[in-house]
Structure 1
Amino acid sequence: MSIEPEQATPWAPHAGVSPVSAPARVSYDHVVLPGDFPDPTITRIGDTYWASATSAEWGAVFPLFSSKNLLDWELVGHVFPDKLPDWAGSNFWAPEFHHENGRTYLYYTVRQKGGVLCVAVASADHPAGPYHDHGPLVGQAAGSIDGFAMPDEHGQLYLIWKEDGNSCHQETPIWAQRLNPERTALIGEPTELFTNDVRWEGPLVEGSALVRHDGWFYMFYAGNSCCGKGCNYATGVARARTLLGPWEKHDQNPILDRNTTWKCPGHGTVCELDGRWFLLHHAYAAESHEFVGRQGLLSEFTWNAEGWPEFINRSPQAPAPRDLARFNVADEFAGERLGLEWQWPITAPKPAATVRHGRLHLAATDSRLGTIIARRTHAATYKAATTLDFAALPVDTFAGLAAVGDPYNALAIMAGNGQVQIWHVRSGKQQTLAQAYIEPCATLTLHLEVWGGQRYRFAYSTDGTTWQPLPTESFSLNGTYLPPWDRGVRVALIAQGAGETTATFSNFIIRNQR
């Protein structure tokens, strides 16, 4: 994904003074990870920047992006592209890089199967992988999340993390504890650095990211409620002369808060380019909010005379995404495999999806909605379509197009057994809202349209030209229930059926609207 840098307004001289030619200053305040990429992390290794973000309940887990200039990012792989660690269950959150002696470590949050949230670590000889998992480092009774590795003033590496006390109506201490020389286990005793004790922080502090500057350790952290329509997340900063404290919170916190364009900015990591400082963090675009999810923004900051970081207007300055057409999708299934942008629920094995001769062959399953492969959305208003080889669809196999929050919440237009149906899935309960019998045809094109993330309409065509709405009455369905509390809506292809049946698709299209 590429972003055209904006040029700052040139200096305007006073009357009578000859203008001085100076290069325009490039603005880096942009959405650099558009779509649902919460809790983004960034690091520089050699001449390349690397970024990742929360995956939550979608695979492949932990995307890996690379960039040479902070603005143009390429998705090059995933930390866990196919198989998850055997011990890990869900909630793949908050990855953080640490690079040392030619090896890259990724500290991440995950819920153990049948257990608590914990901080774990994986490592690789190259930041693009492949990664080897080393398992959990810490998992307190209330849960442990948001691990970040930081050397102290003596060069001893520590893990910084949050005790997830808000999950049980307790405080949320930030802890530090030394890592072993292999960086795969904690040694010694933990030290509490600080907790949520300031009003704006609400029930929690979390998402610690540390940097050392002019003899101080600075910890950027998030406070209050992260997610969903009622979020009030913001970013604060604290500093200390030594890693284990004492820590002093800035009296001007929060230093990064909402504005009319971006809501709930928080949980970011610091980076530097040519002497300029940035926080890569997430925020909701006010126009699309929870329907798209938390997007990855760069926000530049400077250091004031007192040594504290300052953001312009104490809020993200990235413009709202305007050229939404550059996020359109037109996948004709060329090549030999699905692109890296496709996702699937981690509650199921990686789907059996074969790309061959311009067709996607998706193996069906009979669990819940069936097999799901999905793409992130970038707007709350869009149109989507797919063309299905209807004549080749086996009996009792349904295939279609859906807006999906998760496997328990979806709106779908599905075809099978000579019919087209509208499926409404909410909290795991599925209803067929409408259905229509159609004459035999070779292909069937299914169409989904949504306004503002809330109103959905569906239609189908047997010839690609004439459209029949379903339901036949002219009304829309309400999809406000679709987004989970921490994720945006995806558009998905679905194949549901028993046995070894397969659905075949010839395209997948998303057209964003304003």
Structure 2
Amino acid sequence: MSIELEMSAPLTPVSLGAAPQTFPARTTYDRVVLPGDFPDPTVTKIGDTYWASATTAEWGAIFPIFSSKNLLDWELVGHVFPDKQPDWASSNFWAPEFHHENGRTYMYYTARSKQGGMLCVAVASADHPAGPYRDHGPLVGQEAGSIDGFAMPDENGDLYLVWKEDGNSCQQETPIWAQRLNSERTALIGEATELFTNDVKWEGPLVEGSALVRHNGWFYHFFAGNSCCGKGCNYATGVARSRSLLGPWEKHQQNPILDRNDVWKCPGHGTVTELDGRWFLLHHAYAAESHEFVGRQGLLSEFTWNAQEWPEFVNRSPQAPALTDMGQFNIAEEFEGDALGLEWQWPISAPKPEATVRDGQLHLAASASRLGTIVGRRTHAATYKAATTIDFANLPVDTYAGLAAVGDPYNALALVAGNGQVQIWHLKSGKQQTLAQLFVEPCDTLTLRLEVWGGQRYRFAYSTDGATWQPLPTESFSLNGTYLPPWDRGVRVALVAQGAEDTTAMFNNFIVRNKR
């Protein structure tokens, strides 16, 4: 079925850098390289290939693995934990960091322990950076929490774990610690040494997100300060340096060295890398146009070393241009393969969904909880339209299939069909309401459409032929979705199947069209 997805009337109204003709053109690397919700990105070079990952928080699969030959074009090749979380961990899968030595790749990461509930830094390892990874469990979990682990050799070649004590969670300072790792890189040995803490005004309640590099005899410690996330964030990036890994550390008087501008807000938590003698920080920031609705996106920002041997960014802010060609992120999924692609996600609070692809359809096993089974994709714009066509005639009794904008399993807006009806579901803080419902004449397939403007206002409609749309009435005509994004994540657009555990919903397609 051909689906016409023209946007209703709104409710309210990457390029190469140029060089002088007498010199060769110089590629501009300042750009968005991980568009969408990819916070706390990490990058490392192994052989001739760059590898990157990012926070996934409460979404599976956990920790994407990207590869690139040039830092600009990235391919998603897998996940560190593709099917389920490690047995010891429950949530808060943050801040992965690669470390590679002696032919083995280690991933240091943050997660919350099932026992005691504290945040811990843990490690997994693999024979190849693409995996498969074996988890080795937590390395450190202080009472206030331990997060943002980064492995760094000292001046003698001994490897240390550097991490943040999460004191801001209990109104305390946030020391950055370092402690030596054992030869297997799976446990800490010796005593921990405090490197520095948040003691400068701009840093606010915290310093975190350590990333270290050695240059010209100095250790440079890039770190983030202040509030990371959400509408009121004021995150920025600072740097300190020392001749010795364990200090003393000197913070740059010009901190923060990377701060907001009119295009990008709250830049921070990145990792340093190098290409052809040029230096870069892969970090996250919110696009001003879409902010918390899309989430923190992965930016590459180039820096240079000044005469005083400090890193400098142009205008002390990200120079990446705003994304303008949003059509490159459109989705037209016809389920032609034999499995869902690596881009699909699901809440880790539930088991990995039973989702099979065959004969041009997605068969999604239902669940009885709230929205039911959820499989979603990251959004790239705050204004978009999405649609799906469901096999309406073969939908089991008391099973609902549909399309949803999902902040998390407790906060969503959904248009679903089932029992001869279409319904709008409003889920906020776990409380679910049916805001509208209409009976539909029997038909083989039914197409559901979601439209959103600015991440805030939603309209829903359905079609029996993919061209003629019937809107669903609500008291205010449009629904407010401002509440959807959690404090640390962007909104996903998702397919849902709600019903008895032994029932299945079938989807013929999944389409997303973006606008600026």
> TM-score range with shorter-chain normalisation?
over 0.9
Match of residue 322, structure 2, among 306, 320, 323? 320
Match of residue 154, structure 2, among 152, 157, 163? 152
Which residue matches 1:445? Answer: 447
Distance in 2, Cα, partners of 1:499 & 1:486: 31
Which residue matches 1:8? Answer: 17
Which residue matches 2:500? Answer: 498
Instruction: Report if aligned partners of 2:290, 2:382 keep a CA contact under 8 Å in 1.
Output: yes
* 1:7 shift after superposition: 3.2
Code of the residue aligned with 2:104 in structure 1: it is R
Match of residue 199, structure 2, among 176, 197, 200? 197
Match of residue 126, structure 2, among 121, 124, 140? 124
Which residue matches 1:173? Answer: 175
Percent of pairs with identical residues: 83
Which residue matches 2:74? Answer: 73
Match of residue 339, structure 1, among 319, 338, 341? 341
Secondary structure of the residue that 2:328 maps to in structure 1? helix
Instruction: Report if aligned partners of 2:371, 2:496 keep a CA contact under 8 Å in 1.
Output: yes
Q: Deviations over 1:53-111 (max 9, x none)?
A: 00000000000000000000000000000022111100000000000000000000000
Code of the residue aligned with 2:291 in structure 1: it is H
* 1:473 shift after superposition: 6.6
Instruction: Report if aligned partners of 2:403, 2:449 keep a CA contact under 8 Å in 1.
Output: yes
Secondary structure of the residue that 1:26 maps to in structure 2? coil
Instruction: Report if aligned partners of 2:60, 2:84 keep a CA contact under 8 Å in 1.
Output: no
Match of residue 252, structure 1, among 243, 251, 254? 254
Instruction: Report if aligned partners of 2:290, 2:455 keep a CA contact under 8 Å in 1.
Output: yes
Code of the residue aligned with 2:392 in structure 1: it is F
RMSD of aligned Cα (Å): 0.9
Code of the residue aligned with 1:10 in structure 2: it is A
Code of the residue aligned with 1:11 in structure 2: it is P
* 1:369 shift after superposition: 1.1
Code of the residue aligned with 2:350 in structure 1: it is A
Which residue matches 1:459? Answer: 461
Following superposition of structure 1 onto structure 2, how do residues 33-48 of structure 1 map, counting pairs within 5 Å? 33-48=34-49
Distance in 2, Cα, partners of 1:499 & 1:309: 56
Distance in 2, Cα, partners of 1:456 & 1:8: 38
Following superposition of structure 1 onto structure 2, how do residues 107-118 of structure 1 map, counting pairs within 5 Å? 107-114=108-115, 115-118=117-120
Code of the residue aligned with 2:114 in structure 1: it is K
Match of residue 392, structure 1, among 385, 394, 397? 394
Q: Deviations over 1:414-459 (max 9, x none)?
A: 1000000000000000000000001111000000000000000000
Matched, 1:88 2:89: yes
Structure 2 spans left out of the alignment, 5+ residues: 1-13
* 1:11 shift after superposition: 2.4
Matched, 1:479 2:481: yes
Distance in 2, Cα, partners of 1:493 & 1:187: 47
Instruction: Report if aligned partners of 2:447, 2:462 keep a CA contact under 8 Å in 1.
Output: yes
Code of the residue aligned with 2:188 in structure 1: it is L
Which residue matches 1:57? Answer: 58
Code of the residue aligned with 1:426 in structure 2: it is K
Distance in 2, Cα, partners of 1:351 & 1:471: 32
* 1:465 shift after superposition: 1.7
Instruction: Report if aligned partners of 2:84, 2:348 keep a CA contact under 8 Å in 1.
Output: no
Cα gap change, 1:204 to 1:474, in 2 (>3 Å): closer
Distance in 1, Cα, partners of 2:352 & 2:336: 20
Following superposition of structure 1 onto structure 2, how do residues 339-378 of structure 1 map, counting pairs within 5 Å? 339-378=341-380
Code of the residue aligned with 1:76 in structure 2: it is V
Which residue matches 1:18? Answer: none
Match of residue 309, structure 1, among 308, 311, 336? 311
* 1:498 shift after superposition: 1.1
* 1:10 shift after superposition: 2.1
Distance in 2, Cα, partners of 1:410 & 1:445: 19
Structure 1 spans left out of the alignment, 5+ residues: 13-20
Worse-superposed segment, 462-471 or 502-511: 462-471
Distance in 2, Cα, partners of 1:54 & 1:483: 16
Which residue matches 1:237? Answer: 239
TM-score w.r.t. structure 2 length? Answer: 0.96
Cα gap change, 1:426 to 1:473, in 2 (>3 Å): closer
Matched, 1:217 2:224: no
Secondary structure of the residue that 1:313 maps to in structure 2? helix
Instruction: Report if aligned partners of 1:6, 1:26 keep a CA contact under 8 Å in 2.
Output: no
* 1:499 shift after superposition: 3.1
Secondary structure of the residue that 1:27 maps to in structure 2? coil
Secondary structure of the residue that 2:509 maps to in structure 1? strand
* 1:177 shift after superposition: 0.1
Distance in 1, Cα, partners of 2:428 & 2:474: 22
Which residue matches 2:286? Answer: 284
Distance in 1, Cα, partners of 2:501 & 2:24: 65
Distance in 2, Cα, partners of 1:9 & 1:64: 32
Code of the residue aligned with 1:73 in structure 2: it is W
Distance in 1, Cα, partners of 2:175 & 2:475: 55
Secondary structure of the residue that 2:76 maps to in structure 1? strand
Distance in 2, Cα, partners of 1:361 & 1:312: 50
Distance in 1, Cα, partners of 2:476 & 2:232: 32
Distance in 2, Cα, partners of 1:81 & 1:484: 23
Q: Deviations over 1:145-199 (max 9, x none)?
A: 0000000000000000000000000000000000000000000000000000000
Distance in 2, Cα, partners of 1:219 & 1:334: 47
TM-score w.r.t. structure 1 length? Answer: 0.97
Distance in 1, Cα, partners of 2:35 & 2:273: 19
Distance in 2, Cα, partners of 1:368 & 1:272: 47
* 1:400 shift after superposition: 0.2
Secondary structure of the residue that 2:270 maps to in structure 1? strand
* 1:343 shift after superposition: 0.1
